[in-house]
Amino acid sequence: MQEHDMSWVRAEMALAEPAPAGVAGFQAWVRKNLIASTGDTIMTIAGIALVVMILPQIINWAFINAVWTGPDRTACATVAQGGVQPEGWTGACWAFVNAKFGQFMVGRYPIEERWRPILVAILFVALLVPMLIPKVPRKGLNAILLFFALPIVAFILLVGGMFGLPHVETSLWGGLLVTLSLSFVGIAVSLPLGIVLALGRRSKMPIIKTLCVIFIETVRGIPLITVLFFASVMLPLFLPEGVSFDKFLRALIGVSLFAAAYMAEVVRGGLQAIPKGQYEGADSLGLGYWQKMYLIVMPQALKLVIPGIVNTFIGMFKDTSLVIIISMFDLLGIVKQNFSDPNWATAQTARSGLIFAAFIFWLFCFGMSRYSMFTERRLDTGHKR
């Protein structure tokens, strides 16, 4: 062995020294973020004071004093208000949400048929969750099941009228069922349609280009409320008596076309961000138009506009509340409708119901937003921006 002839080389990295106390750890974090300057310190103290003032009251109202179950308004009203609670009591009336929960979920869907929307919900979750987890294999099959098989099965189950299932009119649908089915169809239709419209708008063929521009600009130029209002108030006058377009179908078409027009512009933004060299490179490889778009341009363009796409989705999810204009009751609509039930009219009912609705909306929107951030990070392979 000739080890003594070799100069000494360290075989492994030296262990990192802990950062000096002044720049890491809790103390440093506090110093940097909370009390860096006089202004910061004042803001921090004011902030803490605000939280201390508000938070106990909120917790008190929403949890400690809240009523969770009860037969009717007496559970959520003080003695002076005609109920059972002691004088001066205020608390959330979750009993109202509890009693109306079925309605908030599926509207006035007949109670003995409610297993149908529940089954659809289970199928939806069972197909959506593996779709969202990148590691789960067979994405192609999963997508076909989710976007083609599920809508057909859901249609048969929810509408009925075949295979021995009683027919349930869409006018009885409501609540989260309406919100989710409108958004799911809207999302599933608007993304592909939006991509096609965006490509059409950048096409060199004049007729296709003109048609796409006219569609996008017309739809973007009219408020959704106007379209829904027209579809429900004016359309029946032009149809023969007794012939009526299903209201829910009108809303579905309106919302989908709307989202598609907005989506088209989002996707076009992505297309414009792709350097000309990418198109030319694809051309020089001899790829056809669709190959070029599918293999080279779209993967890059769509990745760039994920925030815009998800933004449109979230906007659409919340816009579904506008179907109240045509007397369809989405989650918010059915919650507000139930405020009119005199058996539950108390000072706390409206607050509790609205907070419940807000929480459900937040849950879905926050979920979508976090998932989009996750996807962005996962796809961010080429360049950090």
Q: Is 237 in the site for another protein (CB under 8 A)?
A: yes
When the beta carbons of 206 and 242 are compared against another protein, the nearer one is 242
> What minimum distance in Å lies between the beta carbon of 337 and another protein?
4
224 binds another protein (CB under 8 A): no
What's the closest the beta carbon of residue 333 comes to another protein, in angstroms? 8
The residue count for binding another protein (CB under 8 A) is 42
Binding mask 189-208 toward another protein (x if CB under 8 A, else -) reads --------------------
- The CA-atom distances, in angstroms, between 276 and each of 82, 91, 280, 293, 300 are 73, 61, 6, 13, 13
Tell the smallest beta-carbon distance from residue 104 to another protein (Å).
10
Nearer to another protein by C-beta: 12 or 87?
87
Least separation in angstroms between CB 272 and another protein:
41
Q: Is 342 in the site for another protein (CB under 8 A)?
A: yes
Most distant pair of Cα atoms in the chain: their distance: 104
**Is the Cβ–Cβ distance between 330 and 323 less than 8 Å?**
yes
Out of 221, 242, 286, 382, the only residue in the binding site for another protein (CB under 8 A) is: 242
Q: Does position 382 bind another protein by CB under 8 A?
A: no
Q: Nearest approach, Cβ of 353 to another protein (angstroms)?
A: 12
Dihedral of alpha carbons 372, 377, 383, 385, sign? positive
- Those residues with Cβ within 8 angstroms of residue 207's Cβ, 6 or more apart along the chain or in another chain: none
Residue 260 burial (10 A CB sphere; 0-12, 13-18, 19+) = buried
Give the C-alpha separation, 75 to 344, whole Å: 9
Range 88-127, binding another protein (CB under 8 A): 99-100, 102-103, 107-109, 111
Question: Which residues are bridge partners to 78 per DSSP?
Answer: 85
CB of 226 to another protein, least distance (A): 12
Q: 312 or 337, CB closer to another protein?
A: 337
Strand partners, 148: none
Q: Which of 192, 236, 288, 307 binds another protein (CB under 8 A)?
A: 236
Asked if 159 touches another protein (CB under 8 A), the answer is no
Does 341 help bind another protein (rule: CB under 8 A)? Answer: yes
Please give the Cα distance from 227 to 95 (Å, whole number).
37
339 binds another protein (CB under 8 A): yes
Exposed, middle or buried, 168 (CB in 10 Å: 0-12/13-18/19+)?
buried
How far, in Å, CA of 76 to CA of 90, rounded? Answer: 9
Q: Please identify, using beta-carbon distances, which residue of 83 and 200 lies nearer to another protein.
A: 83
- 81 lies in the site for another protein, by CB under 8 A: yes
363 lies in the site for another protein, by CB under 8 A: no
Instruction: Point out which span in 192-200, 238-246, 284-292, 372-380 binds another protein (CB under 8 A).
Output: 238-246
- At a CB cut-off of 8 Å and minimum separation 6, what does 135 contact? none
What are 231's two structure tokens? 């579809």
Question: Is 171 a binder of another protein (CB under 8 A)?
Answer: yes
Q: What are the start-end ranges of the H helices in 344-384?
A: 349-379
Helices (H), strands (E): how many in the chain? 18, 2
183 lies in the site for another protein, by CB under 8 A: no
d(CA 217, CA 230) in angstroms, rounded, equals 18
Distance CA 327, CA 334 (A): 10
Intra-chain end-to-end CA distance of the chain, in Å: 53
Does residue number 299 form part of the binding site for another protein (CB under 8 A)? Answer: no
List residues binding another protein (CB under 8 A): 73, 80-82, 99-100, 102-103, 107-109, 111, 169, 171, 229, 232-234, 236-237, 239, 241-242, 244, 324-327, 329, 336-343, 345-347, 349-350
